[in-house]
Amino acid sequence: MDVKAKDTLFTIFGLIMILLTSMPSCTESKKPDPGKIIAGGAAPDFSLRDLTGKNFTLSAQKGKPVLLIFITTWCPTCRSEMPRYNSIHEKYSQQGLEVVNIDIQEPKGKVSLFAERYKVPYKTLLDEKGDVAEAYSIVGIPAMVLIDKDGKILSSQYLAMDRILENLLGKK
């Protein structure tokens, strides 16, 4: 192989490495736009259809806390975290917590199969255009947003959510 070919291969390899290391994984998340989603601020209202075709409107949930879980079926972390989400539902739904999956920009059939496979016991909503994810500044998945009974955002701290829920609703 001549020097020019080696240089070309080296350049291509370098570009591939730069692209791979700069691509965000499904678990990476940028800081949300503070003007859109901030603890203590009003949660953006929305209305989405669930897998059965029924409308779910956030503002209709006032009076109870709501945990929004933003996912996609293709995200490996989302899939591995499903037992955690099901456990949160099991622990806190009897204390009034409304747990809701919001699947971002995927077809209903694919999402239905996913919900069946992972035995999702709570509502799964279809954010077909990604408008709700955008309203909540979701740039990495999975993501969680906890909303209090008055419609205010309590937290979007994914890793701390179990502790936050325990403090809010207590242990079961």
User: What is the per-residue pLDDT across 81-117, written as a single tens digit (0 to 9) for each?
Assistant: 999 999 999 999 999 999 999 999 999 999 999 999 9
Flag whether 71 is in a domain: yes
Under-70 pLDDT residues of the chain: 1, 3, 5-7, 9-10, 13-38, 171-172
Flag whether 11 is in a domain: no
**Residue 73: CATH number of its domain:** 3.40.30.10
Tally Cβ neighbours within 10 Å of residue 149: 16
Flag whether 145 is in a domain: yes
Flag whether 161 is in a domain: yes
In degrees and rounded to multiples of 5, residue 10 shows phi and psi of -60, -40
Flag whether 100 is in a domain: yes
Q: What is the pLDDT of residue 40?
A: 75
Which residues are registered as beta bridge partners of 48? 56
- What are the percentages of helix, strand and coil residues in the chain, rounded to 5? 40, 20, 40
Flag whether 16 is in a domain: no
Flag whether 10 is in a domain: no
The total of structural domains in the chain comes to 1
C-alpha to C-alpha distance for 79 and 135, rounded to whole angstroms: 24
Q: What is the pLDDT of residue 31?
A: 39
Q: Residue 42's domain spans which residues?
A: 26-169
Flag whether 37 is in a domain: yes
* 137 in Cβ contact with 32 (< 8 Å): yes
